[in-house]
Chains A and B, each alone.
Chain A
Amino acid sequence: MNVPEWWYLVLSAVLFSLGALGLLIRRNPLVMFMCVELMLNAVNLTFVTFSRSLNDIGGQVVVFFVLVVAAAEVTVGLGIIVSILRRKPGTTADDLSLLKG
Chain B
Amino acid sequence: MPAPHLGAALRCPGDADVPDEREVRGPAVPLAADPDAALVVRLRDGDEAAFMSLVERHAAAMLRVASMYVPKAVAEEVVQDTWIGVLQGIARFEGRSSLKTWIFSILMNRVRTQGQRERRSVPFSALADATADQEPALPPDRFLSADHPEWPHHWARPPESWGDSPEERLLSAEVRSEIQRAIDALPPGPREVITLTDVEGWSTDEVCGLLGITPNNQRVLLHRARSKVRQALEGYFAGGVD
Answer yes or no: do A and B interact: no
Spell out B's residues near A (CB within 8 Å).
none
Spell out A's residues near B (CB within 8 Å).
none
